[in-house]
Amino acid sequence: MELIFLWEIKDVLINMQLKDIVDILIVSYIFYNLYLLIKETRAEQLMKGILVLLAITRIAEVLELQLLSWLLTHTIQAGMFALLIVFQPELRRILEYLGQTKFLSTSITNSYTNNDNFILELVEGMMSLSRQKIGALIILERKTGINEIIQTGTKIDGELTRQLLINIFIPNTPLHDGAVVVRKNKIAAAGCFLPLTENKFLNQELGTRHRAALGISERSDCISLVVSEETGHISIAQNGKLYKDLKEDTLKSLLKKGLEEEQPKYSFLKKRGEQK
């Protein structure tokens, strides 16, 4: 059996042509990028479970365990339909990423200009809110448009300044309880409603602002900024991941890098602190 297997491999290698090598490289590139898209998400764990199930099914077939093989085969066939529902957020991210490629994009619709001044105003406003322990939620739109979120709030279309940010989130004012959405260098709207995260494994101590920040980051490539009302800590959410308790210098550095990325491929954040 082993000799036959080795002979088949040798035969394939001998008859391999240039187009076969190109075909293999393309498929490998596709699977590698798909893995990067689902890395450190619940989809990664589900994929590992599927691979284990396929391996057990193959072993059952080799050992001629007919009942077990029949049961696993039909379970996998029925499970394929369920996977379309379970992987809905990940499939959305893949399609959005394909739509953001340079091949399909003619311009950067949501690019930011004069980043240094913009980031300074944004960070100073957040640090002031942090010191006063005033809760805040700010969404920076990037390549993926979130106009449906902007439409849920009150249109402002004003230049972002620290004073304007602070005034919006002052408690008991009309717009303090929603999210501010920033498009390019302007506050597009305030008091916006965001979808909450679908992640069931989060720390129960996370409040509504953090869950909303994660929720919109699961559906787009935006950068979500949160100021905790309880602790004053500043957090960033992107690609369904939450990075907590960021200091001023770190916040400036991450924002500068994130907003300067012409074509962000994956998260610009390195893991800082514990994700909960």
Per-residue pLDDT of the chain (276 residues; tens, 9 = 90+): 445 556 666 666 677 778 878 888 888 888 787 777 666 555 666 677 778 888 888 888 888 888 888 887 777 777 667 666 666 666 666 666 666 554 444 444 456 766 788 999 999 999 999 999 999 999 999 887 888 899 999 999 999 999 999 999 999 888 888 999 999 889 999 999 998 887 777 777 788 999 999 999 888 888 999 999 999 999 999 888 888 989 999 998 888 887 876 444 444 444 444 444
- The predicted pLDDT at position 228 comes to 94
Give the model's pLDDT for residue 124.
Answer: 94
| Tokens 């979130």 found at | 146
Report the predicted TM-score, pTM, of the whole model to 2 decimal places: 0.62
215 vs 200: CA distance, rounded Å: 12
56/189 Cα distance (integer angstroms): 53
Helices (H), the chain: 2-14, 18-38, 42-62, 66-86, 88-99, 115-131, 147-150, 162-169, 208-219, 248-260
Numbered ranges of CATH 3.40.1700.10 in the chain? 113-261
**Per-residue tokens: 210:** 């953090």
8 Å CB contact between 108 and 184: no
pLDDT at position 12 is 66
Distances, alpha carbon 23 to alpha carbons 16, 30, 32, 36, 37, in Å: 11, 11, 14, 20, 21
CB atoms within 10 A of CB 140: 24
Question: For 193, left (φ over 0), alpha (ψ -120 to 50), or beta?
Answer: beta
Give bridge partners of residue 183 from the DSSP assignment. Answer: 186
Phi, then psi, of 248 in degrees rounded to 5: -60, -50
Domain 113-261 in CATH 3.40.1700.10:
yes
- Whole-number CA gyration radius for the chain: 24
